[in-house]
Amino acid sequence: MSSTANPNRSNNLPGFDPMMGQLEVLESGIAMFHGFANVAFAYGRGEMIVVDTSSRLMGAMAVRAIREVSDEPFAFLIYTHGHGDHAFGTEAFIADALTRGHARPKIWAHEDVAGRFKRYALTRGWQSHINRLQFGGAFATDGLFEEKSFSYPDLVYRDEQFLDLVGEPVELHHGMGETDDATWLWMPTRRLAMVGDLIVSSMPNTGNPNKVQRYTLEWAETLEAIAKLAPRYILPGHGPAYRGEELCVEVLRETARALRIIHDEVVRRLNAGEWPVDIVEAGISIPADLAAKPYLRPIYGCVPFVVRDVIRRYAGWWSGEPSQMFPATRKDHGSDIMALCGRQAILERARTLKDSGQLKRALAIAEIALNANSSDTEAITLNAEILEAMAASERSFIARNFFAGAARQLRDRTK
Ligand SMILES: [Zn+2]
């Protein structure tokens, strides 16, 4: 996930993390602060490692929670990836260290985190815009993606890095998934994995509609590599921890299996000469036994987004529809359809479809009227109503917020 969460709006994700805002001790020397993004840490040996620093808003809250358990110096702050909800709370940790007269903690991360921060600065307006929409306006995104928000790593690695926490080995491993800059930690003597957003109590968020390429196949491979180690604990980037080897291995293997099924089906269809638009319309799904897993609910990411991610990884931007190579403007196309059918018939048809619950089809028709005349208040209101109905029935937090946000923008135009 990305950006800075307001914990009071966490009910946007029902059932996502019942321990939100609390500190959980998993076993002696290992604990996790449940923020919107989790902050895991190892302590009790004279100094601490902290995995992720939470967000601009919640970094100080995470520090306060950690300080209730330990007053040891932070040896290392380790980013699982460079998203704002995981790596933007660092200043609070550094300030705490300096206030206590401790040395400034060193930040470890994968070598590609710095490139991510540079891209955020380059596209800061876009990042603010899409994250405000994705998280339903729950975030203060103003100025969030500017250089002053970033605490760059002091130390970087490429494939793996072996650290020592006062005699306890800690391994950093690179594996692509939600991001290209991801790190998962392995503490071999405890058989404990801290995996960042590779596991988030939902169908993985690969194929986010507004964000850069994600890595469905590599995601599956990384989860399989962690499963081979037979962890006793998984500490995820969001949501509850998993305990016990049997459950940990199941979550890793089954999530990987779901991703592979979607990936392989898209690739099979591409190889058979299907166009992206055909593959999207095919309605690819995962088997019922996987869909029923609580950790694969489509509450954040969802299967259609994964399908898009795989298409984008291997194909170009063209949908395969000839009209879309050099498309007519939506205004011209809308006007043509309106001239053929008449405005009243279009609005009537959209309303009938909406009333019978066929919301996707209703929206497709209602959009034609709006495209033809963007100040048609009846069309604006009808589009908003359909989008609100779609938001109300949508399980994916991301899609739900985009529908609700689009409806809100339309409603604002009629005020
Ligand atoms: Zn996240």
Tell me, in angstroms, the distance from the centre of ligand 1 to residue 37's CA. 6
Tell me, in angstroms, the distance from the centre of ligand 1 to residue 82's CA. 9
Query: What is the model's pLDDT at position 95?
Result: 98
Of 12-26, 52-66, 236-250, the least confident: 12-26
299 touches 396 (CB < 8 A): yes
- Token couple for 49: 């490692």
> Residue 2: which pLDDT band, with cuts at 50, 70 and 90?
very low
List the one residue out of 246, 311, 258 whose CA is nearest residue 287: 258
Say if strands 30-34 and 160-165 run parallel, antiparallel, or are unpaired. unpaired
For the four alpha carbons of 353, 357, 361 and 362, in that order, the dihedral sign comes to positive
Tell me, in angstroms, the distance from the centre of ligand 1 to residue 198's CA. 9
Tell me, in angstroms, the distance from the centre of ligand 1 to residue 378's CA. 39
87-143 per-position pLDDT tens digit: 999 999 999 999 999 999 999 999 999 999 999 999 999 999 999 888 887 777 888
194-222 per-position pLDDT tens digit: 999 999 999 999 999 999 999 999 999 99
Hey, where are the domains in the chain? 7-255, 328-414
Tell me, in angstroms, the distance from the centre of ligand 1 to residue 112's CA. 17
Write out the E strands in 111-179: 155-157, 160-165, 168-174
Report the distance separating Cα 264 and Cα 270, nearest Å.
10
Report the distance separating Cα 282 and Cα 303, nearest Å.
12
Tell me, in angstroms, the distance from the centre of ligand 1 to residue 258's CA. 20
Query: What is the model's pLDDT at position 5?
Result: 40
Q: Helix/strand/coil (H, E, C) string of 364-385?
A: HHHHHHHHHCCCCHHHHHHHHH
Report the distance separating Cα 35 and Cα 29, nearest Å.
19
Tell me, in angstroms, the distance from the centre of ligand 1 to residue 55's CA. 10
CA 233 to the chain's CA centroid: 22
57 touches 4 (CB < 8 A): yes
Tell me, in angstroms, the distance from the centre of ligand 1 to residue 298's CA. 16
Q: Do domains 7-255 and 328-414 have the same CATH topology?
A: no
Query: What is the model's pLDDT at position 13?
Result: 55
> Residue 234: which pLDDT band, with cuts at 50, 70 and 90?
very high
- Token couple for 369: 């009227």
Tell me, in angstroms, the distance from the centre of ligand 1 to residue 384's CA. 30
Buried b (16+ CB within 10 A) or exposed e, 12-24: bbeebbeebeebb
Residues 6+ apart with CB under 8 A from 363: 350, 383, 386, 387, 390
Query: What is the model's pLDDT at position 78?
Result: 98
Report the distance separating Cα 239 and Cα 253, nearest Å.
18
Tell me, in angstroms, the distance from the centre of ligand 1 to residue 377's CA. 39
| CB burial of residue 296 (10 Å; 0-12, 13-18, 19+) | buried
Tell me, in angstroms, the distance from the centre of ligand 1 to residue 89's CA. 13
Tell me, in angstroms, the distance from the centre of ligand 1 to residue 78's CA. 14
Tell me, in angstroms, the distance from the centre of ligand 1 to residue 356's CA. 37
Checking if the pLDDT of 6 tops 80, the result is: no
> Residue 7: which pLDDT band, with cuts at 50, 70 and 90?
very low
Indicate the average pLDDT of the chain. 94
CA 127 to the chain's CA centroid: 13
136-164 per-position pLDDT tens digit: 877 778 889 999 999 999 999 999 999 99
Tell me, in angstroms, the distance from the centre of ligand 1 to residue 87's CA. 9
Query: How many C-beta atoms lie closer than 10 Å to residue 343's C-beta?
Result: 17
For the four alpha carbons of 258, 260, 266 and 272, in that order, the dihedral sign comes to negative
Report the distance separating Cα 209 and Cα 186, nearest Å.
31
Query: What is the model's pLDDT at position 8?
Result: 34
Tell me, in angstroms, the distance from the centre of ligand 1 to residue 29's CA. 24
Tell me, in angstroms, the distance from the centre of ligand 1 to residue 273's CA. 35
Tell me, in angstroms, the distance from the centre of ligand 1 to residue 238's CA. 7
To the nearest 10 degrees (0 to 180), the angle between helices 303-314 and 245-271 is: 50
Tell me, in angstroms, the distance from the centre of ligand 1 to residue 323's CA. 38
Tell me, in angstroms, the distance from the centre of ligand 1 to residue 15's CA. 17
Query: What is the model's pLDDT at position 15?
Result: 56
Sheet of strand 233-236: strand arrangement: 160-165, 168-174, 183-187, 192-196, 233-236, 242-243
List the one residue out of 184, 206, 203 whose CA is nearest residue 195: 184
For residue 269, what are the CA distances in angstroms to 95, 255, 262, 316, 414? Answer: 53, 22, 11, 15, 44
Report the distance separating Cα 195 and Cα 245, nearest Å.
15
345-402 per-position pLDDT tens digit: 999 999 999 999 999 999 999 999 999 999 999 999 999 999 999 999 999 999 999 9
Q: Residue 316 region, left (φ>0) first, then alpha (ψ -120 to 50), else beta?
A: beta
Tell me, in angstroms, the distance from the centre of ligand 1 to residue 319's CA. 30
Longest dimension (CA), the chain: 77
Tell me, in angstroms, the distance from the centre of ligand 1 to residue 290's CA. 23
Query: What is the model's pLDDT at position 134?
Result: 86
- Token couple for 111: 């070598």
Tell me, in angstroms, the distance from the centre of ligand 1 to residue 392's CA. 24
- Token couple for 173: 């491993």
380 touches 413 (CB < 8 A): yes
- Chosen CATH of 7-255 out of 3.30.450.20, 3.60.15.30, 3.80.30.20, 3.40.50.300: 3.60.15.30
Tell me, in angstroms, the distance from the centre of ligand 1 to residue 39's CA. 11
Bridge partners, residue 274, by sequence: none
Report the distance separating Cα 135 and Cα 10, nearest Å.
10
Tell me, in angstroms, the distance from the centre of ligand 1 to residue 372's CA. 39
Tell me, in angstroms, the distance from the centre of ligand 1 to residue 197's CA. 5
- Token couple for 22: 């609390």
Query: Which amino acid, residue 172?
Result: L
- Chosen CATH of 328-414 out of 3.40.50.2300, 1.25.40.880, 3.40.1190.20, 1.10.10.10: 1.25.40.880
Bridge partners, residue 110, by sequence: 157
